[in-house]
Amino acid sequence: MEQLDNLIDINKKRGLPRVYRFNQFIRWFTLFFGIAAIAYAIWMIFARIDADSSKFFKFVPFAIMFLALNSVLKNLLSLNSINFTMDRVIFSYIARKSVVIPWTSLKRMELNDSKRKWIRLRFEDNDSEKTFEFTMSFPNMLEIVNSIAEMCPQMEYDEFLEKVIIFPQDKKKTSKKIKKEDQ
């Protein structure tokens, strides 16, 4: 019941503006480590590998570079923070342009149930419908989804999110069930 209470009226309780961030220490450490691995692989290619080196030692720096570059790009291009303000939500990245969505333009929120779980937001921008997707692996996702629902009472939800989002009337139903069970 306490967890339910924390999610109802979350924007009033936590206040606005509010920011949710991916762990910055992990993000920047991973970026630094990836860039260092790429630099080391380049150094190995030019300083340590020659015509007499085995095929394995010729291949290893390229494998290191590929894996490190993949890690660096994922950290640069994945969602870094979600900023809630009174009039909009801002999805920020390190190396991509931020996506700004006014609350009044949000129309639908749904779960994309593929291999990687995504939340898809449908919104209107300049008289055209657009979509924005972000991964469910972002920290505090239940709070984020409930905050968006609270700020957009006009929004539609898919079947899964209707069960996940906690509305004020759900609190009343749950407290009645608990009282009946106690009697």
Q: Which two tokens stand for residue 132?
A: 């924005």
- The whole-number pLDDT of residue 93 equals 96
Give DSSP secondary structure letters for 80-137: EEEEE-SSEEEEEESSS--EEEEGGGEEEEEEEESSSEEEEEEEEETTEEEEEEEETT
Residue 162 confidence (pLDDT): 86
165 and 110, same domain (yes or no): yes
Residues spanned by the domain of 135: 2-22+81-182
First to last CA, the chain: 17
| Residue 131 shares a structural domain with residue 170 | yes
DSSP 138: S
49 and 35 within one domain: yes
What pLDDT shows up at residue 178? 46
Total structural domains within the chain: 2
0.85 surpassed by pTM: no
pLDDT at 54: 93
Walk along the chain (183 residues) and give the pLDDT tens digit of each residue: 455 566 667 777 778 899 999 999 999 999 999 999 999 999 999 999 998 999 999 999 999 999 999 999 999 999 999 999 999 999 999 999 999 999 999 999 999 888 888 999 999 998 899 999 999 889 889 889 989 998 998 899 998 888 888 766 655 554 455 455 555
Q: Does one domain contain both 113 and 160? A: yes
CATH number at residue 144: 2.30.29.30
> Are the C-beta atoms of 34 and 72 separated by less than 8 Å?
yes
HSE-up of residue 174 (Cα within 13 Å, Cβ side): 12
Same domain, yes or no: 149 and 65: no
Q: Are residues 121 and 163 in the same domain?
A: yes
Number of Cβ within a 10 Å radius of residue 71: 17
The pLDDT of residue 32 is 98
- Residue 32 and residue 104 in one domain: no
